C-alpha cells in the first residue's frame, strides 16, 4: 500500500509539474509583446518597458517560470493586467468558492442518481429499462452544456418560473437561496456526468455479475439481494471511484460553459473573460487551480481505490 501511494503521488506531482510547464509555455508563446496586446498599439516604448518590468516579463523564460511557479505555490498570484491591476488571488479565490459550490452540488445530484441508474440497468440487462437507460444516457452524454442549459432555462426559469435564469450571488444568502440559484446550473452539469457515470457503472456491474464468484455465492444458496449487496456491489463500484474522478475533469470544463449560460460568478466565466482580454495572470491562476483540483480528485480516488481493494492494500 505504502509503495502504491508513494508511486501514485509522485506520478501525479510529475504530471502536475509537466502540466504547469505546458500552461506556462502556452501562455508565454504570445507573439510580440503582451504589453502591446494589453495596452494597445499606441502605448509608448517607455510605458511598455515599465509594464514589462513590473510583471517581470523582461527576464529569461526559465527564470520567469520558476518565479511564476514559486509565486503560485506561495500564494503570490500576481496582479491582473486589467485596469488598476488588482491582485489576482482575492478575485480568483472568491470565484473558486462559488465554482466549488456549484461543482459540489452537481456531484451530490449526479453521483447517487447515476450509480442507481447504472445498477438498475445492469440488473435488468437487455430489458426495456436497460435499453431506455442506455439510450438516454448515451444521448445526454453528448449534449453540449449550453444546449441543455438553454433548454432547461427556457422551460424551468423563463417558462415555469421555478428558478432564476441568472445568478445574482451575495454573501448574505441562505441555503435555500443558494439552492434556487444552483439548481438549474447544477442539473445542467449533471446531465453529462449522469450519462457518463451511469454507462460506466452499468458496464462494470455487468462485468462483475458474470464473474465466477457470483456463481459460487449463488450455489451457496444465498438469496439474490444478499449476493448483490454483500458480494457484487463493492467490487462493481470500485472502478466507479476512478470514473467519478475522471468526470470531475469533465465537470471543470462544463462549468466554464454553464457559468456563462447562467451568468454565474464562478471561475469559468472569469476564465472566458480572461481569454477575451488576454489577462494572462488570471488565466494562469484559474487554469492551475483547475488542474490542481482535478489532480487532487484523481489522487483521492486512487487512495480510496487502494484502501477498498485488498489486492492493493495488502501489496
Size of interface with another protein, in residues (CB under 8 A): 75
Q: Establish if 291 lies at the interface with another protein (CB under 8 A).
A: yes
Q: How far is the CB of 179 from another protein (least distance, A)?
A: 24
Q: Establish if 287 lies at the interface with another protein (CB under 8 A).
A: yes
Q: Which CB, 222 or 304, lies closer to another protein?
A: 222
**Cα gap 249→291, rounded to integer Å:** 8
Q: Establish if 220 lies at the interface with another protein (CB under 8 A).
A: yes
Q: Establish if 206 lies at the interface with another protein (CB under 8 A).
A: no
- Distance between terminal CA atoms of the chain? 6
HSE of 130, CA atoms in CB hemisphere, 13 A: 13
Q: Which CB, 186 or 282, lies closer to another protein?
A: 282
Site string for another protein, 236-275 (x = CB under 8 A): --x----------xx-xxx-xx--x----------xx--x
Q: Establish if 175 lies at the interface with another protein (CB under 8 A).
A: no
Q: Establish if 54 lies at the interface with another protein (CB under 8 A).
A: no
Q: By CB under 8 A, what part of segment 144-163 binds another protein?
A: 144-147, 150-151, 153-154, 158
Q: Establish if 290 lies at the interface with another protein (CB under 8 A).
A: yes
The one-character DSSP state at 154 is: I
Q: What are phi and psi of 78, to 5 degrees?
A: 80, -175
Stated length of the chain:
315
Q: Establish if 218 lies at the interface with another protein (CB under 8 A).
A: yes
Q: Establish if 141 lies at the interface with another protein (CB under 8 A).
A: yes
Q: How far is the CB of 107 from another protein (least distance, A)?
A: 15
Q: Establish if 104 lies at the interface with another protein (CB under 8 A).
A: no
**Cα gap 10→296, rounded to integer Å:** 12
Q: How far is the CB of 174 from another protein (least distance, A)?
A: 29
How much is the CA Rg of the chain, to the nearest whole Å? 24
Q: Establish if 129 lies at the interface with another protein (CB under 8 A).
A: no
Q: By CB under 8 A, what part of segment 14-33 binds another protein?
A: 14-16, 18-19, 22-23, 26-27, 29-32
**Cα gap 147→233, rounded to integer Å:** 34
Element (H, E) at 176: helix 175-209
Q: By CB under 8 A, what part of segment 55-74 binds another protein?
A: none
**Cα gap 3→313, rounded to integer Å:** 10
Q: Establish if 309 lies at the interface with another protein (CB under 8 A).
A: yes
User: For residue 93, which of 72, 67, 69, 65 has the smallest C-alpha distance?
Assistant: 72
Q: What angle do CA 251, 93, 86 make, to 5 degrees?
A: 130
Q: Select the residue interacting with another protein from 160, 175, 176, 314 (CB under 8 A).
A: 314
Cα 245 to Cα 146, 181, 241, 276, distances in angstroms? 23, 25, 6, 30
Amino acid at each position: 500500500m505504502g509503495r502504491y501511494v508513494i508511486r501514485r503521488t509522485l506520478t501525479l506531482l510529475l504530471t502536475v509539474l509537466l502540466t504547469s510547464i505546458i500552461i506556462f509555455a502556452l501562455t508565454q508563446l504570445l507573439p510580440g509583446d503582451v504589453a502591446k496586446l494589453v495596452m494597445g498599439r499606441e502605448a509608448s516604448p517607455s510605458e511598455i518597458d515599465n509594464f514589462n518590468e513590473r510583471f517581470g516579463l523582461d527576464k529569461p523564460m526559465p527564470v520567469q517560470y520558476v518565479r511564476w511557479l514559486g509565486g503560485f505555490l506561495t500564494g503570490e498570484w500576481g496582479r491582473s493586467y486589467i485596469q488598476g491591476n488588482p491582485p489576482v488571488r482575492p478575485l480568483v479565490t472568491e470565484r473558486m468558492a462559488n465554482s466549488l459550490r456549484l461543482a459540489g452540488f452537481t456531484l451530490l445530484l449526479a453521483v447517487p442518481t447515476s450509480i442507481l441508474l447504472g445498477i438498475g440497468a445492469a440488473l435488468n440487462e437487455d430489458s426495456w429499462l436497460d435499453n431506455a437507460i442506455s439510450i438516454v444516457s448515451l444521448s445526454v452524454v453528448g449534449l453540449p452544456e449550453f444546449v441543455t442549459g438553454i433548454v432547461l432555462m427556457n422551460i424551468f426559469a423563463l417558462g415555469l418560473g421555478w428558478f432564476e435564469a441568472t445568478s445574482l450571488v451575495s454573501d448574505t444568502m441562505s441555503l435555500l437561496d443558494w439552492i434556487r440559484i444552483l439548481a438549474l446550473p447544477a442539473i445542467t452539469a449533471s446531465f453529462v456526468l449522469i450519462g457518463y457515470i451511469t454507462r460506466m457503472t452499468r458496464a462494470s456491474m455487468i462485468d462483475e455479475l458474470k464473474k465466477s464468484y457470483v456463481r459460487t455465492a449463488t450455489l451457496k444458496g444465498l438469496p439474490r439481494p444478499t449476493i448483490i449487496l454483500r458480494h457484487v456491489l463493492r467490487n462493481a463500484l470500485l472502478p466507479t471511484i476512478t470514473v467519478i474522478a475522471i468526470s470531475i475533469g469533465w465537470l471543470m470544463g462544463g462549468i466554464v460553459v454553464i457559468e456563462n449560460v447562467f451568468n454565474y460568478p464562478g471561475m469559468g466565466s472569469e476564465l472566458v473573460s480572461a481569454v477575451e482580454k488576454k489577462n494572462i495572470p488570471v488565466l494562469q491562476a484559474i487554469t492551475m487551480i483547475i488542474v490542481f483540483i482535478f489532480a487532487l480528485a484523481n489522487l483521492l480516488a486512487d487512495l480510496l481505490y487502494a484502501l477498498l481493494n485488498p489486492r492493493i492494500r495488502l501489496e
